Amino acid sequence: MKTIFWKELREHARWTPMGIIPMVIVLVLKWQSTELIFDSGQYGNSLSLTSLVGLLAASIALCLGFVQTWSDQRPAARALLLHRGITADAAFCGKLLAGLLLYTVAVFGPLLGMAAFITSVGIEYRAASPSALIPSALIAIAAFSCWAAGLLMVQRNAWFFGSRLLPGLTAALAVFACGSLMDVVFWLATTIGIATLVVYLTTARTVFVNSGQNATGVARAGLTVALTVAILTMVLSVAMMVETYRTRAAYARAAGNHNQYTVEFGPDGEPWLTRSHYSTTDYKYEIDQAAKMLPDRSVRDQLQPVPADWKPLHQWSSAGYGYGYSRSRRFIHLGEASVPSGTEHVRRSWVLDRKQDAILVYAIRPRAWYRLEATLLPPEPIGTFGEMRNQSAVDVNGNFTIVTTTGVFQVPGNGTEVEVIYALPEHSKELFSEIQRQTDPQVNQLRLLLRFGDRVVLLETEHVDDSPTMSLGPVRGLGVVYGSVVQLPDALATERTISIARDSAEGGDFVGLAPNWSQPQRPSDWFRFAADGKIIEKKQFTVGSTAAVVVETGNSFAAFVPPGAFAIGFAIVAIENGDSGIEQVWSNAKAKPIESAIPVAFGLIQPLLGILVAVWAARRRRLDKRATRRWLWWAFFYGPCGSLAILAAYPRIVRESCDACREVTRIDVATCEQCGHSLDEVPKIGIEVFDQDQTTATAPPQPSAS
């Protein structure tokens, strides 16, 4: 192994700069073009650092795998490599280790250099930490599977425009999936990365050792997975493109003039279905019709025009958990504004540094040069910002509000201290919140619903803007004008999405609504309750459709998803979101039974088609009954796309006619399948000269010249 390792190293070291140079260029350009926070995330439409490094590392690995194998394709070169006192396994290991070392130098060298640079610069010029490179390093490890894919593509005996290039496609897809999922579902990204690496290295080893034949079960299994994923991805991509085109066309037709249906608290505190018309001239919704909700029936057909002064009660809504801030990232960008400072304006940017538990204030200079200007610490006596949950937009003076698990804070645009608007009790670690901004342009108020356990804090802050728009003009001040801790009724406390309003201005009861916007067919609960959670009145009704733009989005894409892929997707949703994920999938299906049933029905045809294709392919490859039975299971779960892998996993059976019976028979067995004649018995032509043998004159050759 050592011999081959050194030989490979010396032979291919010259390619290393071709990997190092693009890596360095990408890292430097990414650093220069980064907008303040240098991390693995994605900003705007640009590729994230992780995806870029993943893409480049995968290309480097693929090219390295190619060049390390291509030269061995010549029989003489392969003979010189393998015909020596080592096993083919050892030769593969030598190649692998040399490839790994060269890849490490090309990919991890620049990454380490970048980490050293970031460490030396600190956070003075960018909100950056060497740990931002960890996801890139992890994706680079997974991308090494492309080295094995390169080797596999070169070594394997297959048609280039058939299944030969497909393993490379799957490896690239896996790396891309890892890069996309790294910051979202880390365990899934890690699993995909490790699985791809293991499957590809194992398959490549087997194919290398067996002279390009996928003759073993391991190689067949690896190829089957790789090819099924590749074929399935291609089919689903086409289906998705068609579906996207259809949906966009339908949306374009519907978006011009449409209505949005929502449930609001009417002036009486009761739930009303309202219709808001979207105006294409001033780009906003205006409620023009409403109808009081009735139990167990739709009121869509009872909507009546409402007077211009008809207004729903102001409500606090919680539309989600507010967990959109990745806990794995050190820096969270809070906002950016041009802040008046004396006679000039200074452009500033604010970043929450979770590690330092401080807000970093950067001054932005021309040509996007950043410089750390101040560090704002959490105010006493709270002492910590806790976990970020939500924030308001930055106003023209640079003031903005953040909601964390320890309280609500006002961050000043020009000041040096963060103010506490509301300090939360200690047991609020599971807080989730939603900031509601009133849509009335004359009054710019922040409405906060802070929820922890079965209680909510309702806050309304004065935040009055003299100008008719929210984004311009000076802000007079900020303070809490309404604050109340309310005990939720038990039934409402368990709901994730709630709306609360006060049914009268002074000292009245509260009304609460637990509609489920994503599952409109599900009954919604309405309560009138006191501040201590005591229920005064309770109703149930069905919300009905709330889609802003009613678009006929067919689910034909789902028809191409085979049961196995669906099961994997379902399992991922279940693991990631627990019961709620499954419940949501199920409820969605129940909400649109017909729309869901059609693709499911088509999806069920897939196993049938898969089995038919598998039987055909197995017969073509002359698989025995046991192997065919195993493939039928695979075909059941992965449909025709999975069945096609049979053709690549097994070599084509060559047939020719038997010398004895003239029937066609396969040539890789000792005897004719039809008559049992030994295929090794080649008829003599009468000119053979063998030791201790006599020539049998049977059929002399034709003369070469007449």
Partner 1 sequence: MREDKIAIRTRGLTRYFGQKAALRSLTLDVPRGQVSALVGHNGAGKTTLIRLLLGLLPPTRGCAELLGCDSQSLTPEVRTRVGYLAEGHFLWGWMKARDAARLQRETFPRWDQHLFDSMLKFFGVSPDSRVRQISRGQRAGVSLAMTLATDPELLVLDDPSMGLDPVARRALVEGLLAFARRDDRTILVCTHLLDDVERLADRIAIVSSGRLLVDSGLSEFRDRIGGWTLEAEFGAQQAAQIPGLIDSRQTRERTHLVVADPDSETETAVQRISGTARREELTLEDAVLAYLRPAAMVGSISDALENVR
CB of 101 to partner 1, least distance (A): 18
Going edge to edge, which strands form the sheet with 284-292?
259-265, 271-279, 284-292, 304-305
User: Is 669 near partner 1 (CB under 8 A)?
Assistant: yes
User: Is 620 near partner 1 (CB under 8 A)?
Assistant: no
Among 33, 46, 73, 87, interactor with partner 1 by CB under 8 A = 87
Three-state SS for 131-199 is HHHHHHHHHHHHHCHHHHHHHHHHHCCCCHHHHHCHHHHHHHHHHHHHHHHCCCCHHHHHHHHHHHHHH
User: Is 160 near partner 1 (CB under 8 A)?
Assistant: no
In contact, 147 and 23? CB cutoff 8 Å: no
Question: CB-wise, 373 or 656, nearer to partner 1?
Answer: 656
* Bridge partner list, 457: 450, 485
CB of 183 to partner 1, least distance (A): 43
Among 23, 52, 57, 82, interactor with partner 1 by CB under 8 A = 82
Question: CB-wise, 455 or 677, nearer to partner 1?
Answer: 677
CB of 93 to partner 1, least distance (A): 14
Question: CB-wise, 10 or 345, nearer to partner 1?
Answer: 10
Q: Which residue has the tokens 């579902």?
A: 185
Angstrom distances, CA of residue 345 to CA of 182, 284, 337:
39, 32, 9
The CB-side HSE value for 184 (13 A sphere, CA atoms) comes to 11
Q: Cα 91 vs. chain centroid, distance in angstroms? A: 38
Among 124, 268, 552, 668, interactor with partner 1 by CB under 8 A = 668
CB of 22 to partner 1, least distance (A): 24
Question: Considering only residues 516-555, where is the footprint of partner 1 by CB under 8 A?
Answer: none
Taking CB under 8 A as the rule, which mask of x and - marks residues 113-142 in contact with partner 1? Answer: ------------------------------
Taking CB under 8 A as the rule, which mask of x and - marks residues 206-245 in contact with partner 1? Answer: ----xx-x-x------------------------------
Angstrom distances, CA of residue 560 to CA of 248, 613, 615, 634:
20, 15, 20, 16
Q: Which two tokens stand for residue 225?
A: 């997975």
User: Hey, which bits of 354-431 come out as E strands?
Assistant: 358-365, 369-376, 388-391, 400-404, 407-411, 419-423
At 65, which helix (H) or strand (E)?
Answer: helix 49-70
Among 21, 25, 77, 234, interactor with partner 1 by CB under 8 A = 77
User: Is 161 near partner 1 (CB under 8 A)?
Assistant: no
β-strand pairing of 304-305 with 315-318 = unpaired
The count of chain residues that interact with partner 1, using the rule CB under 8 A, is 49
Among 32, 45, 83, 296, interactor with partner 1 by CB under 8 A = 83
Of 189-197, 429-437, 629-637, 679-687, the window that binds partner 1 (rule: CB under 8 A) is 679-687
Of 75-83, 143-151, 259-267, 428-436, the window that binds partner 1 (rule: CB under 8 A) is 75-83
CB of 158 to partner 1, least distance (A): 12
CB of 7 to partner 1, least distance (A): 6
Rounded CA separation 179/195 (Å): 15
* Residues of the shown chain interacting with partner 1 in the complex, contacts defined by CB under 8 A: 2-3, 7, 10-11, 71, 74-80, 82-87, 210-211, 213, 215, 654, 656, 667-670, 679-682, 686-691, 694-695, 697, 700-706
